[in-house]
Structure 1
Amino acid sequence: MSRVVVVVGATSGIGRATARAFAERGDRLVLAARASTTLAEVRGECAAVDVLTVPTDVTEPGALDALVDAALERFGRVDVWVHTAAVMAYGRFDELPGRVFDQVVRTDLLGTAESVRVALRHFRAAGAGTVILTGSLLGHITAPYMSAYVASKWGIQGLVRTVQQELRDSPEIRLCLVNPGSVDTPVYQQAANYLGRVGRPPPPVTSPQRVARAIVDCVDRPRREVSVGRLNVVLRAGFTVLPGVYDVLVGPLMRAAGLSGRPVAAHDGSVFAPNPCGEAVRGGHLPDLRKIVFGPVSVVGAALRRRFG
């Protein structure tokens, strides 16, 4: 029997790739995101299975309750709840408008928390279910110019660990966290920007399809936390074991590999409203970043020489 899967944040990047991956398995889908026009596109991409689309803004009170109600009315149950919705903002902390910082946290952390709350309320009543969240490598390390996003992902890490402890008396309800490193999605171009340079994912960059496969695999093999990214372990170790060295290197590396040379005027991106024209599975970063793979090496050398030379 096919599962009923809710995907929150289904119109772009990891969420859109995840919707396609579950559709390929034959699972029935409830797809949620802010942009109704893009939801219709994704429904067409998953047309081989039964799909319900529900325009949903996770920051709106009651929106996620309405989402689960719609899913139950259509399918009678929910087996898997996947939350991928997120927005991003670039800027020095003191230069990023407070309203932008607050909205990123409201979307990425509080929206995720409400999603978990709604899903668990249903799964406790049903006696079983799987919740899968997308965190980030930036829930374990930090990077300059991304304070709101980093704060949110650290918050998700703490939330998940706490709820996993509380679920020890409910072994049939699983909460999994998938933590990718850099992923080739449009979130970087869609981000609010008060830094003056367009952001991009620093290499090595993985595909959203790879992250989607890890999410789908958590349904069959639930795990507390899954890391997706070749350097995740190395970066986490450097952040923890050699914090002084990490802090010397992270700024130059971020400016060399995490920001493009393209100037951009200050703007709010998709933080407050969706931009359907910019939504897609991939962001087009992989070809560009392969060309600059050796750039960060020289930056590291220069930073080390200045610090220890």
Structure 2
Amino acid sequence: MTGDRPTVLITGASSGIGLATARDFARRGARLVLVSRSAEALGAAAESCTALGAEVLTAPADIGVAATVDAAFDAAVARFGRIDVVVNSAATVAYGRFVDVPPEIFDRVLRTNLTGTANVARAALKHFEAGGGGDLILVGSLLGKIAVPTMGSYVTGKWGVHGLARILQLEARAMDGVRVSLVSPGGVDTPVYAQAANYVGWEGRPPPPVDPPEKVAAAIVAAVGRQRRDRSVGLANEVIVLGFRALPAVFDALVTPLVKLAAHSRTPVSPWAGNVLEPQPAGEAEHGKWGRHWLRGVTAGTVAVAGGVAGAVLRGRSAGQDAVPGGAAQTPAERTRR
């Protein structure tokens, strides 16, 4: 990060990756504009950043509503004169099969994760073009590159975010001093899983390997001043994406049992909307409860399930057949008729 006390606007700043990022910038002497839906949670975030020496402005806003985003940017300019860096990390999650998630929940997740990202990007780019440049950093996800069951709205939104980021990166080539970066984390220890809307019956949890939010925050801070087309944060991310693209039959056979094993906890949850429709400030924090201690039992089960299903798929292939998850193998003649 260069410059004298840059002004950084962060959405989703009251919890998880956004809060970790705010604290990282605070330690570096940045002036902060913290944006989130909950004024109460923003107040706590502001106190922690002020204690680290930062000058802080809070701007409650729902990024899914363009007018509130514009108001937050206006407040930031009125207070600090300009904005140098914008980080969009706000997101919500819903668990459940596509047909089980209520339409209003599905739509609201998309409104926050995709439309909200577009609202923030539009405001940032207009400000940067008028003010001589700046950095827009979008938080994507490993799930913006692959597909998993029971997280349809989140996956759909993050695929859109990744597409939007690439469009903006191309268009930013004609904008002097404007840089657009994408940071794509895998499993991260934040409260988002417990805060999620849930219609699958079990509390969600981050799939291993689980990184601390500070690691993602460090990648975000490192992107300032140097555009990152896509910075992946997560030891297994590239391997998982390779499997999704290069071995789709194997991936499709593995993904459902692995999601049940690694991404669903054994804590039962009754159907609820989580923080999708309204913020839940009591549940907001920098870290969740998913440190590395819980992974020991999951790892052995993951290896067993992956080995068994992959072996079945590969045996089917070696016999000249395609293994179809949940169904019988197909002969070459049947494949030709597809």
- Normalising by structure 1, report the TM-score: 0.98
Q: Per the alignment, in what secondary structure is the counterpart of residue 202 of structure 1?
A: coil
Deviation at 1:307, TM superposition (A): 4.0
Deviation at 1:171, TM superposition (A): 4.2
Query: Retained in 1: the 8 A contact 2:113–2:157?
Result: yes
1: distance between equivalents of 2:226 and 2:167? Answer: 21
2: distance between equivalents of 1:283 and 1:100? Answer: 23
The corresponding residue for 1:30 is: 33
Q: 2:49 aligns with which of 46, 52, 75?
A: 46
Deviation at 1:293, TM superposition (A): 2.2
Q: 2:267 aligns with which of 237, 242, 262?
A: 262
The corresponding residue for 2:329 is: none
Residues 201-220 of structure 1, C-alpha deviation per residue, up to 9 Å, x if partnerless? 11011110000000001014
Q: Per the alignment, in what secondary structure is the counterpart of residue 219 of structure 1?
A: coil
The corresponding residue for 1:3 is: 6
The amino acid across from 1:127 in the alignment is: G
For 1:222-241, list aligned pairs within 5 A: 222-241=227-246
The amino acid across from 1:293 in the alignment is: T
The amino acid across from 1:34 in the alignment is: R
Query: Retained in 2: the 8 A contact 1:252–1:303?
Result: no
Q: Per the alignment, in what secondary structure is the counterpart of residue 81 of structure 1?
A: strand
Q: 1:290 to 1:39 in 2, by over 3 A?
A: farther
In the alignment, structure 2 segments of 5+ residues that lack a partner are 316-338
The corresponding residue for 2:143 is: 138
The alignment yields a C-alpha RMSD, in angstroms, of 1.1
Q: Per the alignment, in what secondary structure is the counterpart of residue 51 of structure 1?
A: strand
The amino acid across from 1:288 in the alignment is: W
For 1:106-255, list aligned pairs within 5 A: 106-255=111-260
Q: How many residues align?
A: 309
Residues 224-267 of structure 1, C-alpha deviation per residue, up to 9 Å, x if partnerless? 21110001110111100100100000111000101011211100
Larger Rg: 2
In the alignment, structure 1 segments of 5+ residues that lack a partner are none
2: distance between equivalents of 1:168 and 1:207? Answer: 33
Q: 1:39 to 1:243 in 2, by over 3 A?
A: same
2: distance between equivalents of 1:307 and 1:237? Answer: 17
The corresponding residue for 2:82 is: 77
Deviation at 1:306, TM superposition (A): 4.6
Deviation at 1:127, TM superposition (A): 1.9
Say whether 1:16 aligns with 2:19.
yes
The corresponding residue for 1:295 is: 301
2: distance between equivalents of 1:192 and 1:101? Answer: 10
Bigger shift: 289-298 or 133-142? 289-298
Query: Retained in 2: the 8 A contact 1:39–1:53?
Result: yes
- Normalising by structure 2, report the TM-score: 0.89
Deviation at 1:298, TM superposition (A): 1.1
Say whether 1:276 aligns with 2:276.
no
